[in-house]
Structure 1
């Protein structure tokens, strides 16, 4: 007898009442490598065997023989907390290109996914990973690339979609728990995954689209109070003014259903009493995560340049 479906989130994933998960995308993986096109070397590391947190590290090969310390980019992948991994081809290729262009060391986090590990597992894993990076501040951490080649006074965070949502959550937690050992001059949130019960002005009111968004969030966070949960709707978070990031770049795409939430995040940050600086970039005519799947198009090249400039602006 076939199991009854709990959430049909096609074309992304189907979840069944017996616990079975049928991921329809984001399952392909590629191994770490020396990428000949970019000259970037990558390898996989285990961050915490307790919670199965791991990461893919990227470094320009030329940096391995250099005494110069490079900034760190901690990257959180997207996928609605349910699909994709740090080993997905789109992320692997994008990080190779970004690392080469910005001349940084990247730590691409592979956190546990829902529904097998519902939220807050992804947040907890992302925090564990940040603490792991900070453990290299004295030059005697578990990873030699970070000990020898990383500047922990320049740690940037970036993420797309759910990864951008994670960055907001990390900013609140960083402010509350005062993680020492690293300095974060800025974060980059690309097409952030935020939502809310009530439509924003100009946001879609299409019942099917809004229902899909609600189901996706409930699939990732079964214990949620709904789409006004502060984890998905930062406007409802009284702690937002305590966001510890000094500088935030929010990037949105013109055709993305989540575009309005990105603009709204800038607005609520500015009004919250938060003391940092927020910048925005829009890619006209593009849809969600377009840069990962069409990295050579003009708007993807412009987005890449903006991210690189953001990191290079810090002297």
Structure 2
């Protein structure tokens, strides 16, 4: 047997392994579930292909139709996490979470299925996510191919949200909207849950966690081989001169007390405040919890509180 088929070139357990023959073995985040009509919430979902050429797609959600009026609903665009290399918009935990958020907030949602590293290294995920946003924008003024968006989604009340790497993507989509605009779309707010940001210089409790820091550095360089390093603006907002151009008026940052990345969430709050952006930023910290705990235990007290806080953030100012 060719030894290259079993020799590991890159081991990032418990997430994935890369073998010397180029084979990618994803250990986590491989399970998927189909779209559905959820019996508990009445939320309906379906999958759409955005780009046949690249395979970029999305899972769409609408809340229970009997709860709807003639007034269109806020539109949430969600970006899943997984270190840019595992999980999908179709993973059970993401399907369950977005379904719950759609029901709680009474919104239409687009959960983005972007291509992942290492087969598609960054910035592919950013480019794919922007392509989905352009597809969403094509539905402005009642146009576009998808009836759920034209019939139910209000493109004047759009929100971005994501967790971990997905929060990083949501941040960059907000910056790009601010810099370039997105015709027919008004982004009101962005929700960043346990955002995956980083930097060369340790902050807060990072200084005492050399092993954890090394793992984050290694993962970043793995998913973005062309990076300039851990101070690349893609991963370190402090290095990005465009930070003040965030294209929304409100940002909610959710952090978890036991999460190694929480210091970056709080730091991001400070950076936005000094950037000249001029919007309003809020932080919600969950005591005693770790990274993406709300996906692991969605019915725990803090997960329910965060779900309600996110829904209230989206619906603030609604009649």
With the shorter chain as reference, the TM-score category is over 0.9
Structure-2 residue corresponding to 1:178: 181
Structure-1 residue corresponding to 2:121: 118
The DSSP-based 3-state class of the residue aligned with 2:75 is strand
Shift of 1:218: 1.1
The DSSP-based 3-state class of the residue aligned with 2:120 is coil
Q: 1:129 aligns with which of 111, 132, 144?
A: 132
Q: 2:265 aligns with which of 262, 266, 270?
A: 262
Structure-2 residue corresponding to 1:166: 169
The answer on whether the counterparts of 1:64 and 1:149 sit within 8 Å (CA) in structure 2 is no
Q: Classify 1:204/1:133 alpha carbon distance in 2 versus 1 (closer, same or farther; 3 Å).
A: same
**Once the two structures are superposed, what CA deviation does each residue of 1:90-110 show, in whole Å capped at 9, x if it has no partner?**
000111111111100110000
Q: 1:35 aligns with which of 12, 35, 38?
A: 38
The answer on whether the counterparts of 2:73 and 2:107 sit within 8 Å (CA) in structure 1 is yes
**Separation in 1 of the partners of 2:18 and 2:215?**
13
Structure-1 residue corresponding to 2:56: 53
**Once the two structures are superposed, what CA deviation does each residue of 1:12-56 show, in whole Å capped at 9, x if it has no partner?**
111234322111100000000000011000000011112221000
Which consecutive aligned stretches of 4+ in structure 1 deviate over 4 angstroms post-superposition?
Answer: 63-66
Instruction: Report whether the alignment pairs 1:292 with 2:295.
Output: yes
The answer on whether the counterparts of 1:185 and 1:314 sit within 8 Å (CA) in structure 2 is no
Instruction: Report whether the alignment pairs 1:275 with 2:278.
Output: yes
TM-score (norm 2): 0.96
The answer on whether the counterparts of 2:174 and 2:190 sit within 8 Å (CA) in structure 1 is no
**Once the two structures are superposed, what CA deviation does each residue of 1:99-147 show, in whole Å capped at 9, x if it has no partner?**
1111001100000000001001000011011111111111120100111
**Separation in 2 of the partners of 1:108 and 1:119?**
19
The answer on whether the counterparts of 1:218 and 1:226 sit within 8 Å (CA) in structure 2 is yes
**Once the two structures are superposed, what CA deviation does each residue of 1:255-289 show, in whole Å capped at 9, x if it has no partner?**
00100000000011111111111110000110000
- When the two chains are superposed, the root-mean-square deviation of aligned CA atoms in Å is 1.3
The answer on whether the counterparts of 1:63 and 1:149 sit within 8 Å (CA) in structure 2 is no
The answer on whether the counterparts of 1:191 and 1:258 sit within 8 Å (CA) in structure 2 is yes
Shift of 1:293: 1.1
Structure-2 residue corresponding to 1:95: 98
Instruction: Report whether the alignment pairs 1:152 with 2:162.
Output: no
Shift of 1:76: 0.3
Q: 2:225 aligns with which of 219, 222, 226?
A: 222
The answer on whether the counterparts of 1:75 and 1:109 sit within 8 Å (CA) in structure 2 is yes
Structure-2 residue corresponding to 1:246: 249
Unaligned runs of at least 5 residues, structure 2? none
